[in-house]
Amino acid sequence: MRVLVSGGGTGGHIYPAVSLVKHLREQHPTAEFLYVGTERGLESKIVPEANIPFKTIEIQGFRRSLSLENFKTVYLFLKSVRDSKKIIKEFKPDVVLGTGGYVSAAVVYSAHKQGVPTVIHEQNSVPGVTNKFLAKYVDKIAICFPEAAEYFPSQKVEITGNPRAQEVATVEKSDILKTYGLDPVKTTALIFGGSQGALKLSSAMKDSLAELASRDYQILFATGERYYEEIANELKTNFSDCQNIALQPYISNMEDVLKNVDLVVSRAGATTIAELTALGLPSILIPSPNVTNDHQTKNAMSLVNVGAASLLKDCDLDGTHLVAALDNILLDKASLAVMSEASRQQGIPDATDRLLTVVSTIMS
């Protein structure tokens, strides 16, 4: 079996593809894989670290305003299609999977033109531009949210969930919180704003330190590299005796940490939603206002509407509202338990197996 995958730009596009490759390697040790991404994208770091063969093409997205850069975009797309065709001819994949981002547009389109079976995986409740474009060319479309189905040809759609869910669902509970100076048995909230952090969330946390330092629950906050020093200095200078707040610029073993916390405060990206529901984690979701079609709010509402999450709008995010939201859940054990069960019921723990079934169908 030879599998080519492509996706880039954000972790939400990359991690599902990496999870799928990991699972396939376990089931088919002789299978061969190739990941096609961009040199500047996050995939150029994540994919090689996962020991997946990696090649790049050059491509960029359209500017929303009139710009000469859009002429370059058209040129790069045509060139990337030609480059993708060469890669596909050399690798000779049995199937090509695209998980979103501009890079997958050229790769999956090229595969279709060469008669290679193709699948796209849409993580969000509202599809991105790339997958909308590819919908007419691919053989199957795997989705995570039922709401996404209306954007695609119904005969191609399969609800599979996100492969990342199946990966985190297998993680064992541990005492990993000790490595951050926290108590493994104490009620814990994990707070993060994405791999780069989030300015407004960091400001709210900085303003909340005095209140949070006095709580019975504890906090692990992944600040992002750019905000770590400022908040760490504030905590050290004014709350040096604080034992229940731990800071990290970045958490690389996120699945292990998620397995050992009781509540998550985060943006509402599709991969995060998949991880939360796979583990039955309650959450306070703060949708990013800087995403296409406000899809993070729609992602979040899929959990809010069933009682698995609380919504905190970005425009309302400050220290006061953040502490209140944390107190409302963490200081009410019954509420925490109900939200946890509601979250678990939304999960698709066999997401990777479902996606592999779709892949196998078009290959047969």
Profile the chain (364 residues) by mean pLDDT over runs of 10 residues.
92 91 93 95 93 90 57 77 96 97 94 98 92 96 95 97 92 96 97 82 94 96 92 91 93 93 96 95 95 89 96 96 97 96 94 94 88
The vertex-117 CA angle with 113 and 122, nearest 5°, equals 100
On whether 307 is known to bind a ligand per the annotation, the reply is no
Domain ranges (residues) in the chain = 2-162+350-363, 169-345
140: helix, coil or strand? strand
Confidence at residue 359, expressed as pLDDT on a 0 to 100 scale: 93
Q: Which CATH homologous superfamily contains domain 2-162+350-363?
A: Glycogen Phosphorylase B; (3.40.50.2000)
Query: Token pair 């940490």 is at which residue?
Result: 257
- Check: CB of residue 285 under 8 Å from CB of residue 275: no
What are the helix (H) ranges across the chain? 11-27, 43-49, 69-91, 102-113, 129-134, 163-169, 199-212, 225-238, 254-258, 270-279, 295-304, 319-330, 333-345, 351-363
Second CATH level (architecture) for the domain 169-345? 3-Layer(aba) Sandwich (3.40)
On whether 251 is known to bind a ligand per the annotation, the reply is yes
Confidence at residue 66, expressed as pLDDT on a 0 to 100 scale: 53
Amino acid at 181: G
Q: How far apart are CA 312 and CA 323, in angstroms?
A: 11
321-331: burial string, b at 16+ Cβ within 10 Å, e else = bbbebbeebbe
Amino acid at 258: L
β partners of residue 192 = 222
Amino acid at 95: V
Q: Read off the pTM.
A: 0.86
Report the DSSP pairing between strands 218-222 and 245-248. parallel
Q: How far apart are CA 47 and CA 59, in angstroms?
A: 18
Q: How far apart are CA 104 and CA 107, in angstroms?
A: 5
On whether 296 is known to bind a ligand per the annotation, the reply is yes
Do the domains 2-162+350-363 and 169-345 sit in the same CATH topology, yes or no? yes
> How far does CA 21 lie from the centroid of its chain?
16
On whether 124 is known to bind a ligand per the annotation, the reply is yes
Token readout for 213 is 């330092």
On whether 12 is known to bind a ligand per the annotation, the reply is yes
Within a 10 A sphere around the Cβ of 342, how many other Cβ atoms?
Answer: 18
Token readout for 296 is 């993070």
Confidence at residue 195, expressed as pLDDT on a 0 to 100 scale: 66
